[in-house]
């Protein structure tokens, strides 16, 4: 079917265009709001600056389509194929893009407010500088995606694949990253305040100087990670795995570290004042010059730990195990 036929039928009041072959058709600048193109083929079609607000494009083939500046706000696009499509500066506000394949698509300058990208395939997509505040990216595939300087504050990323993604300058304040596999990832110097990382795997990750205030990180795996000078004030780190982690000069004031494994961790010059370390494992930990004023170390295991020059004013050491520990005055307990 030709584009002229579509326009003529639309002007007569028709809205059902399901299952049509519109491959490579020219529909630049047309108004087709609320039309139904589900299961149709618009492969390589030109739809630049077209008005497709609230259209139905479910399971539609839009591979290679030219959608520059197109208005797709609130469109229903579940399961559609947009491989290598050009969506530069397109308006996708409120669009339903769950399970859509956007591999290699261009989204520079696109409006993505309130978009649903649940289980979407975004492999290699360029989202540099995009505002994805609060967006639903659960179980989305973002492998090798360009997320540099992207705003993902409050975004839901649980179950997402971020393998090889570029994350320079990304904002993840309050984002949901629970259970993600992020071993070896570089998040150094980023803003992750109030982030949700419970159960996530961050072994060997680089979090040097990262802002993680009030983060939720219950049972998170951070073995061998670099958290030097990281800000974890008031974070919940209960049951976390911090074996051999580098937390030198870290800010852990009032942090919840109950039952956390900090064995052989480097906590030299860290601020743990007011922290709750009840039942924590600090065997062989380095705590030289560490501020533990007012900290609760009830039942903590400090076997072989070095506390030389540490501050323990008002610290609760009830039932703590101190066998072989080097105390602040240099005496071995």
In a domain, 31, yes or no: no
The pLDDT confidence band at residue 2, using thresholds 50, 70 and 90, is: confident
Q: Are residues 168 and 193 in the same domain?
A: no
Percent of the chain with pLDDT over 90: 96
Q: What angle do CA 77, 97, 175 make, to 5 degrees?
A: 165
Q: Mean pLDDT throughout 77-86?
A: 97
The kind and range of the H/E element at 183 are none
Distance CA 110, CA 148 (A): 15
Judgement on whether residues 80 and 110 belong to the same structural domain of the protein: yes
Question: With bands split at pLDDT 50, 70 and 90, how would you rate the model's confidence at 191?
Answer: very high
User: pLDDT digits over 89-103, tens only?
Assistant: 999 999 999 999 999
Do residue 80 and residue 126 come from a single domain?
yes
Last residue of a domain, one of 172, 191, 210: 172
Give yes or no for residue 1 having a pLDDT over 80.
Answer: no
pLDDT at 56: 98
Q: What is the pLDDT of residue 196?
A: 97
Q: Taking 90 as the threshold, does the pLDDT of residue 324 lie above it? A: yes
Note the Cα 226 to chain centre separation in Å.
19
Query: Of 172, 206, 222, which residue is a domain's last?
Result: 172
Task: Please write the tens of the pLDDT for every residue from 47-61.
Answer: 999 999 999 999 999
Q: Clarify whether residues 215 and 302 are in a common domain.
A: yes
The structure's pTM equals 0.88
Instruction: Give the total number of structural domains in the chain.
Output: 2
- Is residue 11 a part of any domain in this protein? no
- Kindly report the CATH number assigned to the domain that includes residue 81: 2.160.20.80
Q: What is the pLDDT of residues 18-43, one digit of tens each?
A: 999 999 999 999 999 999 999 999 99
Average pLDDT in the 172-194 region?
Answer: 95
Q: In this structure, is residue 17 part of a structural domain?
A: no
Q: Quote the domain boundaries for residue 235.
A: 177-332
What residues contact 320, with CB distance under 8 A and at least 6 apart?
297, 298, 299, 300, 301, 302
**How does pLDDT run across 159-175, given as a tens digit for each residue?**
999 999 999 999 999 99
pLDDT digits (tens, 9 = 90+) for 198-249: 999 999 999 999 999 999 999 999 999 999 999 999 999 999 999 999 999 9
Does 280 fall in a domain?
Answer: yes
Report phi then psi at 8, rounded to 5.
Answer: -65, -45
What integer pLDDT is reported at residue 173 of this predicted model? 96
Q: Does residue 206 share a domain with residue 266? A: yes
For residue 271, the model assigns a pLDDT of: 98
- At residue 176 the predicted structure's pLDDT band, cuts being 50, 70 and 90, is very high
Q: Are residues 317 and 275 in the same domain?
A: yes
Q: Kindly state whether residue 117 falls inside one of the protein's structural domains.
A: yes
Residue 95 lies inside a defined structural domain of this protein: yes
**CA-to-CA distance for 215 and 210, rounded, in angstroms?**
11
Same domain, 150 and 240: no
Confidence at 108, pLDDT banded by 50, 70, 90: confident
Last residue of a domain, which of 133, 154, 172?
A: 172
In this structure, the answer to whether residues 156 and 185 fall within a common structural domain is no
Residue 209 and residue 309 in one domain: yes
Per-residue model confidence (pLDDT) at position 283: 98
Judgement on whether residues 82 and 154 belong to the same structural domain of the protein: yes
Region for 317 from its dihedrals, namely left if φ exceeds 0, alpha if ψ lies in -120 to 50, beta otherwise: alpha
Residue 318 lies in a domain: yes
Question: Is 124 in the same domain as 185?
Answer: no
Residue 164 shares a structural domain with residue 188: no
What is the per-residue pLDDT for 3? 86
């Amino acid at each position: 079917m030709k584009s002229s036929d579509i326009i003529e039928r639309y002007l007569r009041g028709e809205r059902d265009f399901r299952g049509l072959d519109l491959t490579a058709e020219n529909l630049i600048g047309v108004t087709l709001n609320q039309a139904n193109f589900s299961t149709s083929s618009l492969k390589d079609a030109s739809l630049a600056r077209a008005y497709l607000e609230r259209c139905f494009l479910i399971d539609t083939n839009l591979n290679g389509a030219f959608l520059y500046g197109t208005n797709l706000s609130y469109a229903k696009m579940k399961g559609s194929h947009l491989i290598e499509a050009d969506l530069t500066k397109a308006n996708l506000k409120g669009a339903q893009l769950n399970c859509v394949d956007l591999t290699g698509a261009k989204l520079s300058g696109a409006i993505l407010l309130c978009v649903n990208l649940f289980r979407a395939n975004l492999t290699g997509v360029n989202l540099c500088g995009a505002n994805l505040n609060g967006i639903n990216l659960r179980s989305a595939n973002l492998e090798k995606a360009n997320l540099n300087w992207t705003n993902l504050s409050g975004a839901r990323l649980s179950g997402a694949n971020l393998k090889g993604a570029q994350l320079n300058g990304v904002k993840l304040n309050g984002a949901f990253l629970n259970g993600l596999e992020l071993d070896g990832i570089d998040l150094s110097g980023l803003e992750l305040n109030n982030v949700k990382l419970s159960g996530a795997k961050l072994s060997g990750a680089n979090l040097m100087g990262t802002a993680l205030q009030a983060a939720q990180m219950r049972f998170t795996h951070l073995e061998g990670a670099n958290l030097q000078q990281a800000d974890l004030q008031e974070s919940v780190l209960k049951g976390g795995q911090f074996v051999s982690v580098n937390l030198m000069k870290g800010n852990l004031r009032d942090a919840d570290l109950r039952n956390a494994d900090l064995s052989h961790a480097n906590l030299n010059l860290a601020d743990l004042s007011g922290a709750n370390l009840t039942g924590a494992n600090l065997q062989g930990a380095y705590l030289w010059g560490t501020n533990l004023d007012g900290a609760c170390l009830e039942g903590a295991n400090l076997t072989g730990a070095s506390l030389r020059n540490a501050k323990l004013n008002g610290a609760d050491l009830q039932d703590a195990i101190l066998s072989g520990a080097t105390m602040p005055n240099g005496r071995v307990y």
